[in-house]
Amino acid sequence: MVGPDYFSPAQGDPTQPTKAIVLLTDVFGLALSNPRIVADHFAEHVGVDVWIPDFFKGDGDNTCRSFQACD
């Protein structure tokens, strides 16, 4: 993880050039774990680095705070 953004590296030799996926979130941002789960899955099964920029600076949609799953 780098700052508020999320990074899931591909398995393999990190010195080799590779392709990457930039995964964008919905209005909840990274407050929910779903984008991180998807990024980890892509990195593991597709074999590419996955970056999720945090456009909401960790805040996302404030309605997320009312969901118990956000704890």
Q: What is the mean pLDDT of the chain?
A: 77
Q: For position 63, what pLDDT does the model report?
A: 57
Domain spans of the chain?
6-58
pLDDT value of position 60: 67
Angle at 36 between CA 34 and CA 41, to 5 degrees: 95
CB-CB contact of 21 with 46 (8 Å): yes
Residue 51 and residue 22 in contact, taking contact as beta carbons nearer than 8 Å: yes
Maximum average pLDDT range among 14-18, 53-57, 59-63: 53-57
Q: For residue range 24-51, what is the model confidence (pLDDT) as tens digits?
A: 988 888 888 899 999 999 999 888 889 9
Residue ranges in 1-71 assigned as alpha helix (H) = 34-45
pLDDT at residue 69 greater than cutoff 90: no
- For the sheet with 49-52, list strands across it: 6-8, 49-52, 20-22
| Per-residue pLDDT, 41 | 93
